[in-house]
Amino acid sequence: MNIVFALVLGMLAAAAVISVVRVLRGPGTLDRIAALDVFVVLIVAASAVYIAIYRDGSTIPLMAAVALVGFVGSVTAARLVERWERHR
Amino acid sequence: MTVVRRWPQVLWLTVVWVLLWGTVSVKIVVGGILVAAAVTALFPLPLLPRLPFRPWALLQLGCYLLVDLVVSGVQVAWETLRHGPRAQAGIVAVPLLTDSERITTFVAAATALTPGTVVLQIDRAGGRLYVYTLGLRRPDDAARVRRQMERLQERMVRTVGEER
Amino acid sequence: MITDVVSAVFLLLGALSCLLGALGLVRLPDLPARLQAATKPQTLGLLLILLGTAIRLDFENAATLILVILFQAVTAPVISQIVARSAYRTGTLDRSALVVDELAERMEREAREGGSAGRK
């Protein structure tokens, strides 16, 4: 089971690095927002794997909170971009 | 009064509260009802005609969407690996089967889960959805997307469509 | 033992799906296509990972995890919807690369007829 966890965490870490590449490269603000949203999902996934490893559910409410805050953040940012462009 | 008329929202929020606590006890349930009632009273949502409750159709829709999610995950992954930077896409016009705003909203949300598609624009006057589709190769693939969307809409109407 | 195997399969498939989604984010050519990669494989991956985790927990904690799954399933389409709409409205969508563009066909027809009715 340890090998499985190592593999899973490795894949998630690789995915996180790749999505950060997209955040850095852009080119548009919306690309960055989409990539950051993926990053938040990966954080939630990684904390789920932590829970699976230690069978400790005390951080589950935190995961729910992070998932929801990430959602609100992405939506707000996307709307903001739209407004900027309209003022331009 | 606003709270009593919105009892489904109170019920739903209480369920979420109990799930967040993870245990069921009298204290938690009562506390949940109080919090849910307070939230509903402070931030009332507009009252809509109540959704019909059809558990069987809802279950079918849920399974259909789940299968769609798996298929679309695989399809998008395949498109990424196989074509990568040369992936192709298109915008397809799909006729709307209903003029209900609520069903259109649900259809648009479900479209975002189905294989490679997302709704870009809704033309209500013309009764059309404009659907962005990843992985279109030839123009006749558009017919496939239209068929697929038609099935989704039928399912949605069967699940949450108003009684006539 | 059996739960271990099932959970391992779910976790591995989920992580693979997340990884492929992230790959799509860098490999695909334009924003709407990347958005497909950002929402679908990610949602699927998170669902699988959460399921794989829920199997290993007792019922109380698993119930809360189901709630997280629900949140994700409800919010992911909304995000892709709103970002796609913003992309379309701000003109970041590269239309020349599209195979079919029935929206442009309609907009052209409207422009010819001299009216912009129905376009919001």
- pLDDT tens digits for range B56-106: 878 888 888 888 888 888 888 887 787 767 777 778 888 887 777 777 888
In a domain, B97, yes or no: yes
Least confident of A11-15, B38-42, C49-53, C84-88: C84-88
Work out the average pLDDT over C100-112. 69
B89 lies in a domain? yes
pLDDT, residue C20, reads: 84
Same domain, B67 and B139: yes
pLDDT the model gives residue C96: 64
Q: What is residue C73's predicted lDDT score, i.e. its pLDDT?
A: 81
- Going C5 to C9 to C12 to C14, the CA torsion angle's sign is negative
Residue C118: predicted pLDDT: 42
- Per residue in B104-148, pLDDT (tens digit) is 888 888 888 777 788 877 777 777 888 888 777 776 777 777 888
Asked if residue C41 belongs to a domain, the reply is: yes
Pair B36, B59 in one domain: no
Question: Domain range spanning residue C109?
Answer: 2-113
How far A6 CA lies from chain C's nearest CA (Å)? Answer: 10
Residues B28 and B64 in one domain: no
- Please tell me the least confidently modeled range out of B5-9, C21-25, C31-35, C111-115: C111-115
Do B63 and B11 lie in one domain? The reply is no
Task: Look up the domain containing B14 and give its range.
Answer: 2-42
In a domain, C28, yes or no: yes
Q: pLDDT by residue (tens digit) across A17-63? A: 988 988 888 777 888 888 888 888 898 888 888 888 888 777 888 88
Hey, of B16, B17, B20, B121, which one would you mutate to test binding to chain A, going by the most A CBs within 10 A of its CB?
B20
Residue C35 belongs to a domain: yes
Instruction: Count structural domains, chain B.
Output: 2
Chain B residues with beta carbon closer than 8 angstroms to that of A61: 20
Instruction: Report the domain count for chain C.
Output: 1
Asked if B125 has any chain A CB less than 8 Å from its own CB, the reply is no
- pLDDT value at position C120? 39
Looking at residue C111, its pLDDT comes to: 67
**Residue B6 forms part of a structural domain:** yes
Range C2-29 average pLDDT: 84
- Residue of B134, B138, B149, B156 to mutate when probing chain C, most C C-beta within 10 A: B134
Is position B48 within any domain? no
- Our CA angle for A75, A76, A79, nearest 5°, is 85
pLDDT surpassing 80 at residue C69: yes
Asked whether residue B50 is domain-assigned, the answer is no
Contacts of C78 in chain B (CB under 8 A): 109, 112
Q: Is B17 contained in some domain?
A: yes
Does residue B149 share a domain with residue B73? yes
The answer to whether residue B131 sits within a structural domain is yes
| pLDDT score at C94 | 65
Q: Does a structural domain hold residue C120?
A: no
Task: Let me know if residue B141 belongs to a domain.
Answer: yes
Q: Are A46 and A2 in contact (CB under 8 A)?
A: no
